[in-house]
Structure 1
Amino acid sequence: MMSKRSMKTCLLAAAAILALAEAPAFAAPLDDHFQQPPMEARPRLRWWWPGDAVTDEELRREIKLMADTGFAGAEIQSFTPNFVTLTPDEKLRVNQYAEPSFFAHVRTAADAARQAGLTLDYTLGSSWPSGGGFAITPELAFTELAMASTEVKGGEAGPIKLNIPKRTRRLGALSFLDARVKDPKVADWGKRMDARARTVAVVAVKGKAPVLQPSAPGAMGLTLTPWRDVVTAGTLDPSSSILLTDKMSDDGTLNWTPPPGDWQIFVFRQYASDVGVLGAAGQGPQLILDHMNPQAFATHAARVGDPLGKNPAGIRSTFVDSLELMQDIQWGPELLQQFRKRRGYDLTPYLPFVVQPGWMQAWAEHWSPPYFDTPNSDVAERVRADYRRTVSDMMIEGFIQPFVAWNHARGLKAKFQAHGGAFDTIRGYGLADIPETEDLPHEGDPFFMRMARSGAHLYGRPIVSAESLAWPNRPYEVTPDEMRRRIDALISGGVNSMILHGYNYRFHAEDWPGWHAFQPSPFAGGFSSMLNETNPVWPAMKPMAAYIGRLQAVMQAGEAVVPVAYFYGRYGYYIGIEDDGAGKQAAEKAFLAGGYDFDRINPDSIAHARIEGKQLVSQGGQRYPVLVLPPIDGIQAETAEAIARFAKAGLPIFFTDRAPSRDEGLAQARQRDARVKKAIAAALKAGAKVVPAAGLTDSLRAAAIPANLRFTGDAADLYFVQRRVDGRTATFVYNRGQADRQVTVTLPGAGGVTRWNAMDGTATPVSAQAGGQGTDVPLSLKAGESALLMLDPQTKAVTIPAAAIVGSVALPVEGWRLKANGHVQRKPYAHDFASVSLKDWAEVPELSRFAGTATYSRAISVDAGWLTMGTRVILDLGKVHDVATVTVNGQSLPTLFSAPFRVDVTKLVRAGKNDISVAIANVPQNAMIDPKDTIYKKLKPVAAGWVGPAKLEAQR
């Protein structure tokens, strides 16, 4: 029985969790917050620190700069400066990470943030995956299982010389190149790592080997994964499996004569993995901790987190990045025992079936057939499901839950990236107070973003965070316009709190552009984005922060409208995991094209859901009018039985193409299969339906499932999200394609419609018409354009006449004065040009390798007839690379960072002569090219400058 003290502790903990999960408190009307985003709605920055080589003075300055630029705070990510020459003193200071001086710097930054009204997130460890330092010893390091096979013919007399798997050589944490491993305190760590190696099993199974793709050469002799993709899976007869572990001698010979037939003999060997924490600062070796061992997490947190103390002022949360665990086979020393305990049978005879290349590789996850399958049965598939479920359970219990509990015990929120891990991804997101996704996978794929949003909705987390604006191999060329498009893609995927990747602490600034956490190296092209003052396009960050804040203010308000709960019973995620690598995302695309938004719902959420008013209500309070299942054969019996209860309670349920016919696991298969069949039959009897995938959304409409909207016209590549806020309906639509789209959007309900402009905070009525199914709104979106539409039932739909152009004057192409200030080939450059024309700077020899700000100026004339009442004067700059700030008669307008580069100058111009200047800033790329440098000579020139044509327009 629970004691009163324990009960009180549990109640206090529950209250704390609920407090952490509260939605942002927006006291003022949404309209006000759209114009002036509140702090929680503003974006944040990932703040790269060069270990502990920072100063209090600079930390305070950078916090002030972030506040002045419109950010809500930053996420401290301490990192080893890569490929820069460090002095001995700098090396020492970098590796003072997690030492008292480092935590003193964190407290300084947090105090400065608190005083500025900002908050910080703190990465719980240097770099990723989690681990490092003297705390994570070889005994606490994570392990992997390696496999080698030997093919023999029956009747061949033993002994047999077996292939023994070696530890895969990766990015060695105990590399002799790392001076930190020469510390006398770790002199025996290599031997202790080797001591953890052991043979787990020797298994002989009758069958044939797989046909594999040719092996790809490893970089520098390193292998990220030992598996080759499979052309044709091998076949094994599980009933023939024989355990021969005790018959193998130390020299790898097997004292065994196989019976008749073709045999595969497998040796499974456990190793402590030699891969280290990537780019980590700090003292000692950088071993990755065992993510299945809660003691390993506790030891790690004691080193990198406990010194923060409880309720540290100015710190909102601690953060764990995507796991990126490189293992041959996901493993833990206790996995076999835990598997038997949780699944009810011994995994050992079935170990060959768990190997499937690409499944949750640390990098480049993809689909491949498994190495081995079972002919004419689903035994292998069932074993893989049981294995993956066990891995998931052990990682959640060994790492994610302890991480969340550690934060709550210290008055902090837990922020976690659940992708890249071999576990229930949706539950991993949902367990965190702030689930965080990232935009590297497929350039901000909105469907991938929905995995984190699903976890947030199902588990009641109001904030959906994203590591944003990261492009591989483009460290210096990403434009603010591209960033705006990526922001729109993330919003259309359900993200409502962006962490821009990233702001680099000012380090080695004398060597322009200074240290960049992901600058190019001899091995890789680096990552964007270099977001600090040394980047010429930094002036775009303030209006961009305001743009993001306005969108996020809307997306954090009210409640999300998501009609479809779409079942996801897998572990891990990558595009193609559900359609055997095709990656068509057919169902997801069909839902949105049909006007239905969706969340993925996992078995854990189904187990904790309830039915109210014939709607599925998640434990986090999200309501779904329908449950849809993809075409699957296996499902947990408990999940099938819950679905049957839902159907009996009146929830509409649709099985796509076919209904599940068996349990997903192997243990007690006959009994559990019977439970599944009985439950599915009961669900169908209660009204659940099997419908063809091609007609799924038509079936939803026929069943009167309310849609978010309806598109008339070609809606390909249109993504949307929708929220209800104070009786109004906000719909964000983004054209992610390369072609313009003209459609009619039918919004639910009757009312007037305004288009909210996140660039300047204005709201403008748009033409709309009441229709039989809602309110019809004509919508034209150029490639990469978005629209935020607000339907208000308290107003009426109206027809708005299009603005008429009553005059247009082309600005001269020639004769502009130009003053340039920046860098050429990384060296300072300044020059005044007496007369230039509007053209790409590639055509101006002095500017072809320039990056910086160049200001064009001249006098122009405005017709007095244009300044009559009701006439607007618009300056259209034409093509701009990459940021423009317009000044008219000494008064500057807000910086333009995204096409179309048009600005209203009505209030600034006067009849007759007007002085105009246009300051153009470009990305650093062209100035970074150096034909004499082995790294920077690989960069390619990009368009730059003011190309035009420019014109003045009078509109009425």
Structure 2
Amino acid sequence: MTEPETSRPLERHRAALQDPPIEYRPELRWWLAEGLHTDRTLRFEIDAAHRLGFGGMEFLAMDEQAIDHARYGWGSEEWVHDSQIVVEETTARGMSVSFTSGTNWSNANLPTIDPDHPAAARELNVVTEDVRAGTGRTGALPRIVLDEERAESLLPGHRVPPRTQEFVAAVAAPVVSDGGDGAAPVLDADAVLDLTSRVVDGTLDWSPDAGDDRAWRLFVFWSHGTGQTASPSVGVNYTVNYLDRAGVDAVIDYWRSTVLTPELRALIARNPRAQMYMDSLELTTWGDGGLFWGASVAREFRERRGYDIAPWLPFLTRSVLLMASATTYRNQPTEAQRPTVEKVRHDYVETLTDLYIENMLRPFAAFLHENGILLRSEISYGLPFELTRPGPEVDGIETESLEFGSQIDAYRLLAGPAHLFGKQYSSETGATTRNHMLDHRFYDQIIATQLAAGITKTVLHGWASTAGAEGATEWPGHEGMWPAFSERFDLRQPASEFYPQWNAALGRVQYLLRQGRPRIDVGILRTDHFVDNMSGMYFLDPDGRRIPDEVAYGTMWMRNRENHWWQDLGMQDAGWSYEFFDGSLLLRDDVAFADGLVQPDGPGYQALIVYQEALNPDVARLLLDQARAGLRVLIVNGARELKLLLTGEHILNARATSRTPGLDGRDTELAETMAALHAQPTVAEIDDPAETVSALRGLGVVGRAEFVAENRFVLGSLREDGDLLHVYLYHFLYETGEDTVVEVALPGAGTPYRVDPWSGAVAEHRGVRLDGDRTVVSVALAPGEIALLTVDRSQTPAGSRPAQRETVQRLEGWSIAVESWDAGPDELIVEDRGLGYETREVRPTTAVTTLPVDGSGLRPWTELPGVGPEVSGVAEYRAEFELERAAEPGERLLLDLGSTAGGLGVASVNGGEARGFDTSRPVVDITDMARTGRNTVTVRVASSLNNRLIARGYYDRIPDMGLLLLGREGGHQTQVRPHGLLGPVTVVRER
């Protein structure tokens, strides 16, 4: 097809759209079998990933069965050797390489410490006594039984009991109510006594005042190591402290002395995209206190918050299921005292966030930068840290599809700091509790959702070599990330044949969406120390039955038009973009205000929304100052947001900005500032979130890529690149929606071009009109489909009607050959590096049997004669069609495949280029391949391995990770799925 002449600004992107550079292509999380893999396997896997079009490898050691961990675990000579090969081979191919850090990965932890070491993770534990007047108590304080048996944590790793404990505080409080029926005891916060100074040599003699007939409870607080470990490693690797500087200093010392060998440093220096990836913070405590602690916490709390933490410790003790979002406080105050205690709880977690930033992230990032390594991090979540404040401290901010259930509102939570400070925003993508079960379209929808939120770097979760330990590896291959957890995007997949086209398509989208700057209409101030990152792991119906991941992702929450955090959908349906961040980030020197915009050279928020009940008084003063200078602020009362999906808890913010978050005594000051703010003409207040759009319009806000009419099916994102506007649109109701046409109004007059992600072709878009000083583009989208457009504002549009389509022919009489995949013979790989032993790997191979089906209509493989429900693999379809005339100038010929059952594939005509397609709307442009007369169509479509693995009994012995994470038992359930080209297949002429 001959492409129209494009303007100069768009021309500079043409080469990258034809062949997207490697840095824009999706990357991989690679689960290595510790240091077991042979050099041959490592080089083979990296070469394969590169050949399939992936842009980088993020690697980590996963526990492998049936091998010697002392020989192959993290920290061993084999692991160091393998790490160097990974860095060498990726660098040689221009791929990025990422080391992996995080609580559950050994290289975040140290074999040089033990639970009692100053650098080890610590917790504040508690033991209690009941005391009454008259009897009192005397003698030694009760201590923690450090080796007491308790229920195992749901997080990986085991606990090694510490040997020592340090006394921190003794606090007594009257018991108002002892709870019952699962309720927490209620204590009188106003009568708490700090008895710490009366403790002498570990003993305390104390009695309530004579005549005080209340029941008192004595809380004795001890600090000790958590004893949390990570495996696999050569020795026991202990989790370091993320709050005290000793923790990161010990990590830095170990990396300098042991990990970063001269050879590895030299290799890293050659790779401009070497990174350290910090995974989610899966730290855990063991005791009844449940508090993360360190030697500096009490002192830092006093200096930062202005009062002592000790008297409040009974109200901070907590229990937690898996992640901080599931925090339950063990003691509560009276209802009248609750506001004060909530402020103290805020001050504690705010202090923890401060220490995480200052004592972990900053020094760790500085050390990495000294060694040519960037820091990419899943900041905060998993622990009681504020979610967005650490954003400026890292080079890249990462989220993940697993813990947030691929929800657009969850991705918006971290989009704020990423865009506000110009950070690369990426996501670990594809981790679900389904393995080999789902069609490729499911994962395409996760990626499409992330792109709509401003994520422009996909890191697929993940890749594993098919080769693994002898005696522990069977077809389809070494699992790496456990057989019940996460998809594999490696050579075991039938769809891997088409990964080059898929990766190139994603590379083109990610390339264009990294150009220029993001333009976000509205910033929402939101503080959250306990963000619900378990929302993506709760799949139970009201009767406790397991909901399949694909059903939850496809039909619930956002797909049922229910967002978690900003629940009113008015801005979304208007096409307005918005995202969240903690208001204190606005106080930073690197945040600018001008012309009524926030960070005008970045996201350029046109307005800020304040809706939570607590607001930092310094932020309120900033809002007042900027509102006087033209910043638009909307105060929203009555907004409801998710607290914890697991328990169905939500927070209703009845009156916005009604208090300060901490115990700072500044509530009156805040009220005075807010009164002055309300008086500004650029400020509005509403009592119903449903009035948000109309209130913002009343303040003069106009969406930069707003919909001409409300559209409940489409999400979008916008990048401004000089005269160019790059527009991404996505029909997100991929299971529950219907075809839609959306009209998008963009600032300025320009000519729109449609970019085909699958070919890189750029063609003038049909369906454009001018509306005053705006360009209105009309786009038709099927459920799950994406569209990528660029509007060139250096060219004045002529205006045109939407494209008209005519079906030329429907293809029938298909010749089908299904290539059925099953286990083949194992290949033994033996390596002798001259160290006195052999390393042995088994690589299962795949046997492919071709099952021909002649002259058939298009039906699922389960219904094709000679194929049936046990088959997985790739099918090739051939048919012919007659064309009266080829495409004339201004026309396109399209091959519409109808449906491929969500399978990835390619299509070609007359032996031309094999082109991929959107799995939600599989249409291929064949203008340059089709000719007058007879034409031959070839379509290849892949399936998942689901049906073959069911037939082999693969799932019979695999537990359901989704249930295990909730502390329940159950097997991995799936069902036979339809695969193949389902059609109808038609040739369409577009004018």
TM-score, normalised with respect to structure 1:
0.82
Q: After TM superposition, give the deviation of residue 322 of structure 1 in Å.
A: 1.0
Give the partner amino acid of 1:452: L
Q: After TM superposition, give the deviation of residue 549 of structure 1 in Å.
A: 0.9
Distance 1:475 1:817, change over 3 A: closer
Q: Which of residues 512, 520, 526 in structure 1 aligns to 2:475?
A: 512
Q: Does 1:900 align with 2:921?
A: yes
SS in 2 for 1:791: strand
SS in 2 for 1:941: coil
Q: Which digits, 9 at most, give the CA deviation of each residue in 1:571-617, with x for residues without a partner? A: 3423799xxx9974336733333443223232442212565433354
Partner of residue 957, structure 2: 935
Q: Does 1:883 align with 2:904?
A: yes
Q: Is the 8 A contact 2:860 2:981 kept in 1?
A: yes
Q: Which digits, 9 at most, give the CA deviation of each residue in 1:871-903, with x for residues without a partner? A: 765444333242334455555622446133333
Determine the C-alpha separation between the residues in 1 that align with 2:10 and 2:678. 47
Q: Does 1:723 align with 2:719?
A: yes
Q: After TM superposition, give the deviation of residue 301 of structure 1 in Å.
A: 3.3
SS in 1 for 2:223: strand
Partner of residue 5, structure 1: none
Determine the C-alpha separation between the residues in 1 that align with 2:940 and 2:419. 44
Give the partner amino acid of 1:433: D
Distance 1:712 1:155, change over 3 A: farther
Q: After TM superposition, give the deviation of residue 124 of structure 1 in Å.
A: 4.0
Determine the C-alpha separation between the residues in 1 that align with 2:310 and 2:41. 56
Q: Which digits, 9 at most, give the CA deviation of each residue in 1:773-817, with x for residues without a partner? A: 73333333322222223233223152235333253234126xx35
Instruction: Please list, as runs of the form range in 1=range in 2, the aligned pairs for 1:737-886 lying within 5 A after superposition.
Output: 737=733, 738-740=736-738, 741-764=740-763, 765-772=765-772, 774-793=774-793, 794-805=795-806, 807-812=808-813, 816-823=815-822, 828=847, 830-833=849-852, 835=854, 837=856, 838-843=858-863, 847-857=868-878, 860-867=879-886, 869=888, 874-881=894-901, 882-886=903-907
Q: Does 1:586 align with 2:569?
A: no
Partner of residue 332, structure 1: 294
Partner of residue 697, structure 2: 701
Q: Does 1:272 align with 2:232?
A: no
Partner of residue 953, structure 1: 987
Q: After TM superposition, give the deviation of residue 545 of structure 1 in Å.
A: 1.0
Instruction: Please list, as runs of the form range in 1=range in 2, the aligned pairs for 1:308-707 lying within 5 A after superposition.
Output: 308-309=264-265, 312-314=269-271, 316-327=274-285, 328-355=290-317, 362-363=322-323, 365-366=325-326, 371-377=331-337, 378-418=339-379, 419-461=381-423, 463-471=424-432, 473-508=433-468, 511-520=474-483, 526-574=484-532, 584-586=564-566, 589-609=569-589, 612-618=593-599, 622-632=603-613, 634-657=614-637, 658=655, 660-667=657-664, 669=665, 672-687=666-681, 688-692=683-687, 693-707=689-703
Q: Is the 8 A contact 2:121 2:227 kept in 1?
A: no
Q: After TM superposition, give the deviation of residue 926 of structure 1 in Å.
A: 1.8
Determine the C-alpha separation between the residues in 1 that align with 2:921 and 2:195. 70
Q: Is the 8 A contact 1:80 1:94 kept in 2?
A: no
Q: After TM superposition, give the deviation of residue 122 of structure 1 in Å.
A: 1.7
Q: After TM superposition, give the deviation of residue 264 of structure 1 in Å.
A: 4.7
Give the partner amino acid of 2:697: R
Determine the C-alpha separation between the residues in 1 that align with 2:802 and 2:780. 15
SS in 2 for 1:426: coil
Q: After TM superposition, give the deviation of residue 486 of structure 1 in Å.
A: 1.2
Determine the C-alpha separation between the residues in 2 that align with 1:914 and 1:613. 60
Distance 1:386 1:416, change over 3 A: same
Q: Is the 8 A contact 1:864 1:911 kept in 2?
A: yes
Partner of residue 71, structure 1: 54
Q: Is the 8 A contact 1:204 1:244 kept in 2?
A: no
Give the partner amino acid of 2:685: V
Q: After TM superposition, give the deviation of residue 933 of structure 1 in Å.
A: 7.0
Q: Which of residues 62, 66, 88 in structure 2 aligns to 1:86?
A: 66
RMSD: 3.8
Partner of residue 213, structure 2: 260
Q: After TM superposition, give the deviation of residue 142 of structure 1 in Å.
A: 0.9
Q: Is the 8 A contact 2:584 2:616 kept in 1?
A: no
Q: Which digits, 9 at most, give the CA deviation of each residue in 1:827-846, with x for residues without a partner? A: 84524436474432334575
SS in 2 for 1:464: strand
Distance 1:605 1:796, change over 3 A: same
Determine the C-alpha separation between the residues in 1 that align with 2:671 and 2:190. 26
Determine the C-alpha separation between the residues in 2 that align with 1:302 and 1:207. 50
Determine the C-alpha separation between the residues in 2 that align with 1:770 and 1:415. 42
With 606-615 and 413-422 compared, the bigger mean Cα shift is at 606-615
Q: Which runs of 5+ in 2 are unaligned?
A: 1-8, 536-556, 638-654, 825-843, 959-970
Q: Which of residues 7, 22, 30 in structure 2 aligns to 1:47?
A: 30
Identity, % of aligned positions: 23
With 870-879 and 654-663 compared, the bigger mean Cα shift is at 870-879
Q: Which digits, 9 at most, give the CA deviation of each residue in 1:105-132, with x for residues without a partner? A: 3333323223222221222479538643
Q: After TM superposition, give the deviation of residue 371 of structure 1 in Å.
A: 4.4
SS in 1 for 2:872: strand
SS in 1 for 2:661: coil
Q: Is the 8 A contact 1:48 1:77 kept in 2?
A: yes
Give the partner amino acid of 2:229: G
Q: After TM superposition, give the deviation of residue 697 of structure 1 in Å.
A: 2.1
Partner of residue 538, structure 2: none
SS in 1 for 2:449: helix
Distance 1:491 1:434, change over 3 A: same
Determine the C-alpha separation between the residues in 1 that align with 2:805 and 2:620. 60
Distance 1:155 1:584, change over 3 A: farther
Determine the C-alpha separation between the residues in 1 that align with 2:355 and 2:319. 21
With 480-489 and 610-619 compared, the bigger mean Cα shift is at 610-619
Distance 1:545 1:565, change over 3 A: same
Give the partner amino acid of 2:214: G
Q: Which of residues 98, 104, 121 in structure 2 aligns to 1:142?
A: 121
Q: Is the 8 A contact 1:822 1:852 kept in 2?
A: yes
Q: Is the 8 A contact 2:905 2:942 kept in 1?
A: yes
Give the partner amino acid of 1:411: G
Determine the C-alpha separation between the residues in 1 that align with 2:291 and 2:631. 40
Distance 1:264 1:720, change over 3 A: farther
TM-score, normalised with respect to structure 2:
0.80
SS in 1 for 2:435: coil
